[in-house]
Each structure stands twice: as C-alpha cells, then as structure tokens.
Amino acid sequence: MAIEIEKSFDVPQPVDEVWTFLTDPERIVECLPGATLLETIDERTYRGEIGLRLGPIGTRFDGRIRFDELDAERHHMVMTGEGKDGRGAGSVRMTMESNLRQREEGGTRIRVSQSIALTGRLASFGRGGVIQSVASVMFSRFTGCLREKLAQ
C-alpha cells in the first residue's frame, strides 16, 4: 500500500541558492527531526537513520537514500529511499520528486511529490491517516527549518 503526498511552498531566496541547499545531504539532515547522516556511500547515495513516532509505536529506520536524478538546469530531482526498523516492525520505501521554479515576483516555489510504502506492522498506520499526519508534521518542521537556514 503506497501513500501519496503532494506539497508545495515558497521561500524568498533565488532558485539556485535553494537548489544548492536541497541537494546537500549534510544540510538537509539538519532539517529532518530525528535524522542522522551516517555514511556517504558514493556521490549520490547516503546511509542514515531516522526516528519516528507512528501512533503508539516509536521506531527507528536504518536505511539508504539515493539521488536518482539531479538536473540542475531544470531544478528537478528524484530521490529514492528504503529503510528497515531495527526491531522488526516493518520497512519503508519512498520515492520523492522535487521541482523548483523561480517565481516572477521573486523567490522560489518548491513542489514535492512523495510515494511512501510501508510493510509489516507499520503498514496498519497508513489506513487510518496516521502516516499522512506524521508526514504533514515532518514537512511543516522541515519547511520551517529550511526557511530559517536559508535566511542565515
């Protein structure tokens, strides 16, 4: 079962500055609560972990993220990731597509589409909207942090 999430938001910085931030895993991880970057596998693949609370279950995923597409000219990227819960509660697979566009009035519009698939006990939380709620909270925290970091 895949959960589809689409979001967009604006930041006042120019598109190239935002692109540089969003394609730097060390900077991205600073804005993901509970996430740690553990290893650079190659120039597009990274290993890390992230802790989440899904309803009554607190879990920590160990996994990999890969930039499958990085088109700096079009400001388009596709990332895939997968992780496993260390206690056997399940696993997650994610595909995320991001598009950045310079706005005529200034700043950058960021559009994000995600597809998230859970397996194991964790999959039961996708049916009741828990995953969407968790994703919305994480997205809100991420965008707030991104705005703060870009403003510095």
| pLDDT digits 0-9 by tens, 18-53 | 999 999 999 999 998 889 999 999 999 999 998 877
Of 73-77, 90-94, 98-102, the least confident? 90-94
Answer whether residue 100 shows pLDDT above 90. yes
Answer whether residue 128 shows pLDDT above 90. no
Question: Which is it for strands 2-11 and 35-42: parallel, antiparallel or unpaired?
Answer: unpaired
CA dist 121 and 115 (Å) reads 18
* For range 113-133, the mean pLDDT: 76
Exposure letters 40-52 (e unless 16+ CB within 10 A, then b): eeeeeebebebeb
CA dist 131 and 115 (Å) reads 11
Q: Which two tokens stand for residue 92?
A: 């997650």
Mean pLDDT (the chain) is: 89
Q: Which domains does the chain have, with CATH numbers?
A: 2-151 (3.30.530.20)
Answer whether residue 121 shows pLDDT above 80. no
Contact 90, 123 (CB under 8 A): yes
pTM over 0.85: yes
Q: Which amino acid, 87?
A: R
CA dist 4 and 39 (Å) reads 28
Number of residues that this document lists for the chain: 152
